[in-house]
Chains A and B, each alone.
Chain A
């Protein structure tokens, strides 16, 4: 099984050609918990995620990213984007085991099959992405991320292109599947952040600050009074920045 998830601390600022993208920030992703990173477009949410993932970014980051167990993040994180990034020439099953294929390892097809069946895609194992709905494709992408079995999971708005009911179902599935992993979810939806985050970080041009969340653990009921209140306050704060 996957290793114990580490905590991650990021400290620093980022510039693109001399223009600051985000001011000096200091944020901490607690081990084995969901952190939702919320902010308006252009505040550098995705850049922050890409820095942690070790992916190339425009501009220059000055600072450091520390991991609680002192080991590198490289090879221990999996990544899910807004688009499903499925390969159109592969079946759902083959797409789910892409990571092992790309590393030249023998793929664990029985495990992938069980997982796809569990998330309701048992009848579509051999279907190509073009034959699947947007929600189904994103579920295959979720299965692919899960099968990587990495302790750190970086999610870049993976549910934002889905319709409301599919999105809610995907949030529940992801919350269950990524339990005990260190998860960073980039989102611009206050309801999603309040529903899923053990911690919510609110990123603005001035810096990052921890936003108070209800005391109940995620997955929270979006319509519970304290959830509604937290969402409303978060939304108001976002709109004040406009």
Chain B
């Protein structure tokens, strides 16, 4: 009955929202009522879905490319102490620069199309994926390392058969974070300069005081992110063994 609590929570939020609109006599361009948002959603459903499709494509591409790059980087630096010392400070440094600040430059370099948004999503998820997976790859229990050592494991086989499978739950954690962050990257990219996508639609609706459409876009984006998170969680947890199965010390 867990979904029942979810429905109840959503009901409470909607109820308070409606009460605020009625009680404080909010004009619709400041805070539209839930009903008005639903109406805007329905009337603009085709426009909304079209823009959502663009954003979804950017998010999925960004998630795919960012995950592959992040996982590859994590394996490379976990496999080489020297490379790790060289690359790790650089990775941390990139995190010190807010990705938001890079958005105008990326738009300048890669144009108003999808490329700059995909790149934003890649940039924003690269670090969480790399960092989570790298953690898993380097935290092999001592007993397993001893075992591999006495068995004269080759570094390549140890990575392939011991470290990567062992780190899959950590990679799953990184991917789940990526699923939540990737839409943020894409939407920031769309805010800075785009002609399509939910971020673009939000700015457009806001500028024309169509606050109800703005809220409808926002809800659709939230729905998309939650769904993406659920799908990624489900897939990632299925693909990796559960932590509790690890009997090794």
Mark A residues whose CB is within 8 Å of B: 50, 53-55, 74-75, 77-79, 81-89, 98-99, 101-104, 128-130, 137, 148, 154
Contact = CB atoms under 8 A, between A and B. Distances in A.
B157 A103 contact: yes
B151 A99 contact: yes
A83 B143 contact: yes
A92 to B, nearest CB: 13
B150 A129 contact: no
Contacts of B237: none
B146 A81 contact: yes
Given A98-B147, A101-B157, A102-B151, 10 more contacts: A54-B150, A55-B150, A81-B143, A81-B147, A85-B248, A86-B248, A88-B246, A103-B157, A104-B157, A129-B245
A79 to B, nearest CB: 4
Interface string B207-249: 0000000000000000000000000000000000100011111
22 contacts: A53-B146, A53-B150, A55-B146, A81-B146, A83-B248, A85-B143, A85-B247, A85-B248, A85-B249, A86-B247, A86-B248, A88-B241, A88-B245, A88-B246, A89-B245, A102-B157, A102-B161, A103-B151, A103-B153, A103-B154, A130-B247, A154-B150
Contacts of A87: 144, 162, 165-166, 248
Nearest to A137: B247
Contacts of A54: 149-150
Interface in B169-185: none
The interface residues of chain B, by DSSP majority, are classed as: helix
A127 to B, nearest CB: 12
Contacts, number: 79
Contacts of B5: none
The interface residues of chain A, by DSSP majority, are classed as: loop
Contacts of A77: 150
| Residue of A54, A55, A89, A137 with most partner-chain B CB within 10 A | A89
Contacts of B151: 78, 98-99, 102-103, 148
A84 to B, nearest CB: 6
Contacts of A154: 150
A79 B152 CA distance: 12
Contact of B241 (A50, A89, A98, A102): A89
Contact of B247 (A88, A99, A102, A104): A88
B161 A75 contact: no
Contacts of B246: 88
Contacts of A101: 157, 161
A150 B241 CA distance: 31
A83 B247 contact: yes
B156 interface: yes
A81 B249 contact: yes
A102 B148 contact: yes
A78 B150 contact: yes
Contact of B149 (A55, A84, A104, A137): A55
Contacts of B154: 102-104
B160 to A, nearest CB: 9
A78 B166 CA distance: 22
Contact of A130 (B148, B153, B245): B245
Given A102-B148, A102-B158, A102-B161, A83 B153 contact: no
Contacts of B146: 50, 53, 55, 79, 81
A176 B182 CA distance: 59
| Residue of A50, A79, A87 with most partner-chain B CB within 10 A | A87
A154 B158 CA distance: 21
Contacts of B147: 79, 81, 85, 98
Contacts of B245: 88-89, 128-130
B157 to A, nearest CB: 5
